[in-house]
Amino acid sequence: MLFSVANIPTARVKCVAFHPQKPWAFLSCHDGSVSIWDYVVGALVYRFQAHASPVRAIDVHPTQPLFVTGGDDGVVKLWSLDRALVYTFTGHTDYVRSVFFHPGHHPYLVSSSDDGTARIWNWQSRQRVADLIGHRDIVMCARWHPTEELVATASLDGTLRVWDVSPINSRGAVGKVQQLAMQVLALPHMVLTEAAVGAGHSSGLNWVSWALDERNVLLTASDDHKCKIWRLARGTPRPGALLDNTASLFCTATLSGHMNHVSTVEQSTKNMIVSASIDGKMRVYEAKNHVFVGEIGVRDLDPLAELASGCSSYRWWCLREHPTSILWAAGHDSGLCLFAMQPEAPVGAYDPHTHRCYVVEKNRLSFVPVTEEGDKATVGKARPITQLFKHTVSAGGFGAGKILAPPKELLILGDPYPFVVTYHDGGAMFFVPYCDPKDASLKSPREVIPTMCSPIRVDSTRIAWLERVKDGVFLVISVLSTDKNSPRTRHPVSVTAQHLVAGGQAGRIYLTEDSRIVSLDVFSKLSDGAPLTAVVETASTSHTTSGLPSKDGLLLALRDEHSIFIYDDKLSLVASITSRAPITSMCWGMMGRGLEETEGRKAHTLLYATKTHLCYLIPGSNTGALHGTISSVNEPLYLMAGFRQCLCYMDTSDDVQILEFDSRVVGLMQAVAQGNEEDCVTMLRRLRGVDVGLALASRLLETGHPDVAFHTVPHSLPEVREYLSVSMGHLDRLDLNVSRSPDEWIQLSILAIGLGQGILAADFLKKAKRADLLAFLHSVHNAPLEELPDDVGDDPNQLLNAALLTGNPEVIRDVLLRFGLTTPARILADAHGLSFPNITQGTQPTMKISVGKALKPIKRTGSLRNYTITHVENALDELLSHDVPIDEPHTTEAEIKSAGVWDESESDPVEESVAPPTESQRQETQSTVASKKGHLFHRSSDEVFEFLTRFGIRSKNARKLLEPRVKEAIESSQDESQGPCSSVRFTDVIQAFEDSIDVLTAGEFDQAREKMSSLLRDAIFCRATSQDLGEEEREELCQTIKMLVTYVAALQCDGARQTVDSGDRGRAAELAILFATRRLRPLHIALAIKKVMAKVRRLGARSHAVALAERYLDLVELPDLRENSNLTSGIAKAKSLRDEKADVSDELLLSFSFEEHDRLEMCSMTFVPIKGAAIYCTACGAPATKACMSSECPVCHLGIFEA
C-alpha cells in the first residue's frame, strides 16, 4: 500500500535525511541551500545557504543535535540544529559525494569524494582519522555497517569495496590523551589500503547500502541500469579484526528493469527493496525472493507536480527511509516527495457455519478448515477452490503502465458460491461477483461493477453497494445468481453516504454518512428508485472504514484507523475506545475456557488487533465498557474469529494461524460486564494464586466492581488488599497479625464502629493496647468488661480509666495497686469490703497520674455486637482529643488538688477548701490556656516543621530557608506579655510587596527579583502560621502570594532570556514573548513589551512582534498610563511594527502562535509553554510541565511540583 504524504517544491534535491525524533526532513539542494521541513504540519522550519556550490550530501546524527553536509566546494561542514556552523573539515580536493555519521557511539563520520578517496573524521576532536585509498575513480558513496566497524564504498571504477576500519579505534584520537598527543606531535592519520573487492557491474557504481536483516549482505546501484545484491565472505580474520586478506564479495542476485542510470537503492525494514533512477521511476521488489512489486513515478505521488525548467522528464536523485517509521523521502528535479509503504493486508473471510477460513492468495481462492476440539482449535491444509481472474488496470496510485490490481476484500455468501471479490487500483474501487465455478473460467464473460465502498451481504442471495452517478448517490441491491438478468434495484441516498455495514439479521443494513448512522430494513420487495426509510438513526462523528455486527445482531462495531465504537440495536453508543497504534482488524467472540454461548452468556466480546497489541473491548449492561490487552504482537495480525481461548487470524504471509492465549482475565471481564455471577466465580477460582498485577484491579475499581477487584489483587501485595478491604468496609478481611501503629488500629476501630462492626472494633482496640477505649466501647453497649484483658498496655491513665468504666471495684483496686497507689486502693477496698493484700512500704512503684477527663458514658441496652452505631464514634473522637500523656508534669500541688485528685507525696488525703474563682479570673485563665496550649509556637521546632508540611512546605531546602523565622517565632512566643505570634505579620507582607513593586518600576530587576523571592517565602510562612487573620485579610494574603509567584517567574524568565546563546533565535524569541505576556500589573506589562517587541521582530517572529505592538498601544491608552513618560517614548516604534501587519511572514516557527498569547501558561522551571495538563507547586502554586514532577519549585524553593 502506498500513501503520499507530501510533495515539497524546491530546487533539485541531491540528498535527504530524517531527524530520528523530530518530524523533520533535511534536504540538500543543487543551489547550495539546505532546507528543513516539518512534514507533520507541512511547513518550512528554515532554509539557509550552506555551501556556495551544490550540496550533494547530508546526514543527521542519531542522538546528538548535529547534522553534516558535503558539497562541490570539497569541504564537509558540521552544523548544530540551530544552523550554527560548528566546524569545517578540509582535506578533500574535489566534490564531496556522500557523508554519513557513525551509527553507534563513536564520534566518527565518513565522506567520499571525486578525488578517489573516502575519509573518516572525528567530529569531536576535529581531526582526520583515516583515509581509505584504493579506488581508481570517483568514490560516489561510503556507508558504515549498521553494527560493525566496516565501511563499504562504491566507485565509478565499477567496483564495490568493504574496508575493516576497526584499527582506528585503537589509533584514532578517541580519548583526550590521544587527541592531545596527535595535536602536539602532529601525528599523521591512518591510511587503509586493504579491502574486500567486488566487481560485476558493467559501468560505474553510484550507491551502496547494507541490508538491515543480514550482516553480510549489501546492495549497489549502477549506471548499467541495474542493482545487484552482494554477499561478503570474511575469510578467517585474526583476533580483533573483522576481515582477512582473503575476504571477498560475490554477487547473489541482479535486479533489472530500469531504463537509465540507477541513482540509489535501499532495503526497507518492511521486507522491500526500493531503487530510484533518473529514468523517473522507483522500482519496488520483495527483499526475500526479489519479485518485482511495482513502479512509482513523481506523478503517482503528486498528479499536479510540475517539471523543473530545462528538464524534459522527472528524475529521481536520492532516496532515504525514516529510521523508526514506514515513511520514505525521495528527491527529484523539482523537490522532494514524502510517502509511506507497507505490506498489503491479507484477504480472507471466516464462515462460522462451515468453520472454514476462505483465503485469496496469488489470485486463487482456497479454504482452510478450522477444527475445534474442546477449548483448542487447529487448522488444516489449504485446499484450492478456484482460480480468480486477473484484473489489470492502468497507472494508479501505485505503479505506472499496466499493473495487476490485487484483491482487497472477500465476501462469502454460500459454500463458497456465490462470493464477491473487491479490487482497488489506487483510485477507483470495483468488485466482481462469482456465482458458480463457471464464472472462474477464462472464457466466461466477467461483470466488473464499480462501487464507492465494499459490497455487503444483505441475506444469503442478495448484496448491496453504493454507486455514484451524475444524478447522485444510490444504494444498489442485487440478487446474485447465474441469471445475468437477476433483479437489481437502485435507491437514492444522501450524497454524504460513505460506507455500508451488514446487519446481524437478514434484511438489516447500516448506512454511514458524514454525521450520522442510519439503520435500514430491506426485507420487503422494493421497487426501483423507491427511497428507503430509516428505521433508526444516530449522530456520529467518526469516519468509519469498516463495521462488524455481533452474531445475534444486537451490537454493531464500527472502526476507523484509531478508534472503535460499539452501538446497540437502537444505535445508542455503549462503548468506545481510541488506540494510539493503528487498528488492523476486529472480530466478535465468546471468551473463556469451557464457556458456550447461552441465553445469559453472549458472544459480545470484541477482539481487535493493532500493530503492536491484541486487545479486547466489552460493553457492560450496568457499568462502563471494560477493555484491556490480551497479548503483545511483533507483527500485524488480521483477526478472523475468536472462540474461548483461541484466535484464528491471518498473518502478512497470507497464512491462517491459531493463537492460543490465557483467557482467564478476559473471561473474568466478560462475566463482570454481562453480570454472570457463576462465570465470575469460575474465573476468579482459576485466577487464584496468579499474579496479574494491579492493572486488572484498577479497571474493575473504575467500573464499580470493588469486590471482584479485591480477589484479583495478588497476596504478595498485602497493603493493596488491606486498602481495598478498608475502602469497601470489609474489615473482617484484615489480618490481625500485621504490625500496625496504635493510631492505625484506633482509626480502624473507629471505622468499624461506623460500619456497625462492634466486635471487630473491640479486637482492633485490643491490638492498639487501649484499655480505656475498649472499656468505654463495652460500657456504651451496656456490656461492661468484668476484667481487663491481658496485654492491653501499661499506661496508668488509660488503665485507671478502663477500670473505672468496668464498674468493678476489684478491677479498680488491682489497677491502683499495680501503680503503687496503696492509699486509694486501701480506701476503696475498705469501702467495698474487699480484701487488701499485705504490702510492705516501698515495694510497689510510685508513678504520677495525669489529670484525666471525667466521662459520662452513653447508656445503651443490648450487648456488644456487629450492628450500626452512629454516635459512639463522636464520643471516641472526643476521648482521643483530650487524652493527656503520662509524662506531662503538674505545675503546682494546688492544681492537683483543685482537679480533684490526690498528691502522691501525701500518705493520707487532706481536704482543703478552695475559694471559687471570680469571673475575671476564669476568663483570664481560659484565655491564657487557649493561647498557650493550642498555639503552634509553643511546640518544638521539629513539630512546627511537621505542621508546615500540611501547607505544602515540603522541599529539601525549606527547613534551611525558614529556620530563622521559626526560631524567632518560638522565642517571641515565650514572652508572656506578647503571647504567641507569627514572626511574619500580614501588614508587613502587604507593605513589603508594594515596596518591591516600586523597586521593579524603577527598573532594578535583579534587586526586585531577590526582594520578591524572599517576600514570597515570608508570605507563605505567614499564611500557614497566622491563626488570627480574618477572612478578608487571608484572601488578600492569598492574592498577594499569587501575584508574587507571577512576578518572580516572569523576572526569572527574563533572566533566562539574557543567558540564551545568540545562535538560538527561536528560544530567545519564545522567552521574550513569555516574559511580556505574564499577568502583571498593566504598567509592568507595557514596560515588558516595550523592552522586547523590537527584539522579537529582529529575531524573526514578526507576527508575534505585531501582536505585542498592538497590545502595547492598547495599554498606553489607559488613563493611568497615558502620561507615563517611560511609555510614550515607545509609541512610535509600536506603531511602526503594527503597520507591518499587512505583510507579515515569520522567519521562525515557534511552538505557539500569536493568537495564543493570552492563553499561554508558562512552566516556572523550564520557561516553556505548558501544553496540556499542568502540575503545581505544593507551597506557592507555581505551574510546571509534567516533566518537572517531584522537583523543587524554583520560584519559592519551599514546595515541590505535584499533580
**What mean pLDDT do residues 1036-1065 have?**
88
**What mean pLDDT do residues 851-878 have?**
41
pLDDT score at 229:
95
What does the block give as the cell for 637?
A: 495480525
> DSSP assignment of 303-329, as one string?
TT--PPTT-SS--EEEEEE-SSSSEEE
**Radius of gyration of the CA atoms of the chain, in A:** 42
Name the nearest CA neighbour of 358 among 318, 320, 313, 414: 414
By mean pLDDT, which of 398-407, 706-715, 842-851 is the weakest?
842-851
Angstrom distance (rounded) from CA 573 to CA 566: 6
**What mean pLDDT do residues 382-388 have?**
88
pLDDT score at 934:
44
Q: What are phi and psi of 750, to 5 degrees?
A: -65, -45
Q: Is the pLDDT of residue 72 over 90?
A: yes
Out of 258-272, 1131-1145, 1148-1162, give the one with best mean pLDDT: 258-272
Taking phi over 0 as left and psi of -120 to 50 as alpha, with beta for the rest, 359 belongs to beta
Is 1023 strand, coil or helix? Answer: helix
By mean pLDDT, which of 265-269, 282-286, 893-897, 1079-1083 is the weakest?
893-897
Q: Is the pLDDT of residue 121 over 80?
A: yes
Out of 69-73, 240-244, 314-318, give the one with best mean pLDDT: 69-73
Does residue 465 or residue 935 have the better pLDDT? Answer: 465
Q: What are phi and psi of 722, to 5 degrees?
A: -70, -40
pLDDT score at 841:
47
Handedness of CA 943, 946, 948, 951 (dihedral sign): negative
**What mean pLDDT do residues 741-760 have?**
84
Q: Is the pLDDT of residue 8 over 70?
A: yes
Angstrom distance (rounded) from CA 665 to CA 645: 11
Q: Mean pLDDT in the chain?
A: 80
Q: How confident is the model at residue 528 (pLDDT cuts 50, 70, 90)?
A: confident
pLDDT score at 923:
38
Q: Is the pLDDT of residue 180 over 60?
A: no
3-state per-residue secondary structure call for 951-969: HCCCCCCHHHHHHHHHHHH
Q: Is the pLDDT of residue 123 over 70?
A: yes
pLDDT score at 268:
85
Q: Is the pLDDT of residue 266 over 80?
A: yes
> DSSP assignment of 4-56, as one string?
EEEEEE-S-EEEEEE-SSSSEEEEEETTSEEEEEETTTTEEEEEEE--SS-EE
> DSSP assignment of 118-165, as one string?
EEEEETTTTEEEEEEE--SS-EEEEEE-SSSSEEEEEETTSEEEEEE-
pLDDT score at 343:
60
Q: Is the pLDDT of residue 446 over 80?
A: no
Strand 583-591 to 638-644 pairing? parallel
Long-range contacts, stretch 357-363, CB < 8 angstroms, 24+ apart: 357/640, 357/641, 357/648, 357/650, 357/656, 358/385, 358/410, 358/412, 358/416, 358/419, 359/650, 359/654, 359/656, 360/388, 360/407, 360/410, 360/421, 361/654, 363/387, 363/388, 363/389, 363/390, 363/407
pLDDT score at 170:
65
- Helix and strand element counts for the chain (H, E): 27, 62
pLDDT score at 888:
35
pLDDT score at 915:
45
C-alpha angle with apex 1114: 1113 to 1118, nearest 5 degrees? 110
**What mean pLDDT do residues 703-726 have?**
76
DSSP H/E element including 377: strand 376-379
Handedness of CA 654, 656, 660, 661 (dihedral sign): positive
pLDDT score at 1016:
92
The pLDDT tens digits of the residues spanning 577-623 come to 988 777 889 999 888 888 887 777 888 899 999 877 899 999 976 66
The pLDDT tens digits of the residues spanning 649-679 come to 988 777 899 888 888 888 888 888 888 888 8
End-to-end CA distance of the chain: 43
Strand 327-332 to 316-321 pairing? antiparallel
What pTM did the predictor assign? Answer: 0.48
